[in-house]
């Protein structure tokens, strides 16, 4: 496969996103032998196309970093993707179901870096030393594939199902908390749908950022100061419906929420 075909598949997935239409996973007929490396090259083309459209990168994100997520999606390896400026939703605001295909929400911890981090061999402790703030976050994922039915290369090529992010208003210094012990609940209309703790994410969410730095190093890239990085769902993802009032509470980090309208 060459750049031309990567770009063609990237456009196919981007069109599905723009037209809010689900598609059959690309490993079904288009590229049955797609490797993980080639899937990241398709993702790179998606990133380029979004940049060409005038959007900017807020930061990379990690996905499938907890057992809850890996089991739910039947994929056993962490992945990364990118969040863009037009994906960020104001905390407390309303999102419209018509902007999505079949959105789900998951509770996460986001890191804001104060210093660049460059792999290889980055540890969670090094990440904590380079982090300015941690923020409670809700990620809205919206796989472009029918029924979120995908394999590892499919979801990588699809920019890790990225769609929207809601960030809490409160910034906390990472050293003020033990992030692995942060109890987390994800509620819809006042009912707890799922719960967990920071340790669900690779033992400690800082390990997720460390793994990301080490994965990006293979492409000659690094994490940069100011980037906002999602560390991956602590909870499983929950399907959204019209009228939902969504809220996550993260012990010591605070609350973050939004509502869903038609």
CB of 207 to Mg ion, least distance (A): 16
Interaction partner, residue 155 (ligand OOG, Mg ion, none; CB < 5-8 Å by kind): ligand OOG
Interaction partner, residue 212 (Mg ion, ligand OOG, none; CB < 5-8 Å by kind): none
Phi-psi region of 40 (alpha: psi -120 to 50; beta: other; left: phi over 0): alpha
Output 143 or 151, the one with its CB closest to ligand OOG.
143
Sign of the dihedral defined by the CA atoms of residues 169, 171, 176, 181, in that order: positive
* DSSP H stretches of helix in the chain: 3-18, 36-52, 67-73, 124-130, 152-157, 205-217
List all residues 6 or more positions away from 222 whose beta carbon is below 8 Å from its beta carbon. Answer: 116, 117, 118, 119, 213, 216
- Which of 43, 151, 159, 161 binds ligand OOG (CB under 6 A)? It is 161
- Which of 9, 42, 89, 141 binds ligand OOG (CB under 6 A)? It is 141
Query: Is the distance from CB of 164 to CB of 94 less than 8 angstroms?
Result: no
Tell the residue number behind the tokens 């941690």, with chain if given: 134
**Footprint on residues 183-242 left by Mg ion (CB under 5 A):** 233
- Which of 91, 106, 194, 244 binds ligand OOG (CB under 6 A)? It is 106
Q: Per DSSP, what are the bridge partners of residue 250? A: 184, 254
186: Cα within 13 Å, side-chain hemisphere: 25
Q: Please give the radius of gyration of the chain, using alpha carbons only, rounded to the nearest integer.
A: 17
Output 45 or 139, the one with its CB closest to Mg ion.
139
- Which of 64, 128, 206, 248 binds ligand OOG (CB under 6 A)? It is 64
Interaction partner, residue 194 (Mg ion, ligand OOG, none; CB < 5-8 Å by kind): none
Report how many residues bind Mg ion under the rule CB under 5 A: 3
Tell the residue number behind the tokens 């056993």, with chain if given: 76
CB of 172 to ligand OOG, least distance (A): 20
- Which of 27, 43, 131, 143 binds ligand OOG (CB under 6 A)? It is 143
Chain residues binding ligand OOG by CB under 6 A are 63-64, 69, 73, 106, 139, 141, 143, 148, 155, 160-161, 232-233, 237
């Amino acid at each position: 496969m060459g750049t031309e075909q990567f770009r063609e598949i990237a456009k196919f997935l981007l069109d599905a996103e723009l037209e809010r239409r689900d598609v059959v996973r690309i490993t079904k007929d288009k590229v049955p032998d797609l490797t993980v490396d080639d899937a990241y090259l398709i993702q790179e083309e998606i990133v380029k196309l979004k940049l060409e459209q005038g959007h900017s990168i807020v930061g990379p994100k990690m996905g499938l970093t907890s057992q809850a997520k890996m089991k739910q999606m039947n994929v056993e390896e962490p992945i990364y993707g990118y969040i863009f400026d037009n994906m960020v939703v104001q905390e407390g605001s309303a999102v419209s179901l018509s902007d999505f295909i079949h959105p789900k929400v998951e509770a996460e911890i986001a890191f804001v870096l104060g210093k660049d981090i460059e792999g290889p061999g980055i540890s969670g402790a090094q990440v904590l030393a380079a982090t300015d703030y941690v923020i409670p976050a809700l990620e809205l994922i919206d796989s472009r594939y029918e029924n979120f039915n995908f394999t590892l290369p499919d979801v990588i090529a699809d920019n890790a199902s990225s769609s929207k992010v809601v960030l809490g208003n409160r910034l906390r210094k990472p050293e003020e908390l033990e992030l692995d012990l942060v109890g987390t609940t994800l509620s819809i209309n006042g009912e707890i749908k799922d719960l967990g703790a920071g340790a669900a994410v690779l033992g400690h969410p800082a390990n997720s950022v460390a793994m990301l730095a080490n994965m990006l190093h293979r492409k000659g890239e690094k994490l940069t100061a100011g980037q906002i990085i999602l560390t991956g769902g602590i909870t499983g993802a929950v399907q959204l419906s019209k009228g939902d009032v969504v809220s996550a509470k993260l012990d010591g980090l605070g609350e973050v929420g939004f509502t869903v309208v038609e």
